[in-house]
A and B are shown apart, each in its own frame.
Chain A
Amino acid sequence: DVVLTQTPPTLSATIGQSVSISCRSSQSLLDSDGDTYLNWLLQRPGQSPQLLIYSVSNLESGVPNRFSGSGSETDFTLKISGVEAEDLGVYYCMQATHAPYTFGAGTKLELK
């Protein structure tokens, strides 16, 4: 199975600060169809996960553009340019290139 390693496990930020989360894959997530199925999810406290970014860098409809994703092959990054209070929660990367699909362990974003 593909292992996704997220760092850091916990991130403390002030409102307005820019932060980044890393997700590294144990194998390339470039699919034979040319797409790279690496998504980013946010789970706010007490809520279900919600999709933020799909296929590395595509912003899901309704997601603020302070969120951005980048990367390729095995190294991926989620950046939040100016953290807001509503961004607090746990961020997960997820890959859907290789079955079984797998998730990172999560990065908890909290207020400093």
Chain B
Amino acid sequence: EVQLVESGGGLVQPGASLKLSCVASGFTFSDYWMSWVRQTPGKTMEWIGDIKYDGSYTNYAPSLKNRFTISRDNAKSTLYLQMSNVRSEDTATYYCTREIGDYWGQGVMVTVSS
């Protein structure tokens, strides 16, 4: 059974950094592109970016590429999202997905507030 389990969310102050993790199981992680998607409190869905199966290429939403970095550790079957200089508008539930959404994690909430 494919499972994606995100962690690392919580309450963070504006301007701070945060790193989210997503541990994958039930499939060969190193064979798949992986993505991050977020959903705002108003339920708007936004694609953040994705990473090639070997980690050699990343693709980002232009509005986020200067502050967000996606990486992976195939030995640990883990996907990461490094968020820097966070803003109130980054408040959302963050999902990792396999490929372009055939499987989704349960999501992790990030709240940016002072």
Contact = CB atoms under 8 A, between A and B. Distances in A.
Interface in B41-74: 43-47, 49, 59-62
Given A48-B95, A48-B107, A49-B95, A105 B44 contact: yes
Contacts of A100: 47, 49, 60-62
B63 to A, nearest CB: 8
Interface in A63-112: 90, 92, 94, 96, 99-103, 105-106
Nearest to A50: B104
Interface string A23-44: 0000000000000010101000
7 contacts: A39-B100, A41-B101, A51-B103, A60-B102, A96-B101, A100-B60, A102-B47
Interface of B: 43-47, 49, 59-62, 95, 100-107
A71 B95 CA distance: 28
B43 A103 contact: no
Contacts of A101: 47, 100
Contact of A48 (B43, B44, B100, B106): B106
B4 to A, nearest CB: 9
Contacts of A106: 43, 45
Contacts of B107: 48
Interface of A: 37, 39, 41, 48-51, 54, 60, 90, 92, 94, 96, 99-103, 105-106
Nearest to B104: A48
Contact of A96 (B45, B60, B100): B100
A51 B46 contact: no
B104 A92 contact: no
A102 to B, nearest CB: 7
A29 to B, nearest CB: 13
Contact of A103 (B47, B104, B105, B106): B47
Contacts of A103: 44-47
A94 B101 contact: yes
Nearest to B99: A96
Given A96-B100, A106-B45, 20 more contacts: A48-B95, A48-B107, A51-B101, A51-B102, A51-B103, A54-B102, A60-B102, A94-B100, A94-B101, A99-B59, A100-B47, A100-B49, A100-B60, A100-B61, A100-B62, A101-B47, A101-B100, A102-B47, A103-B45, A103-B46
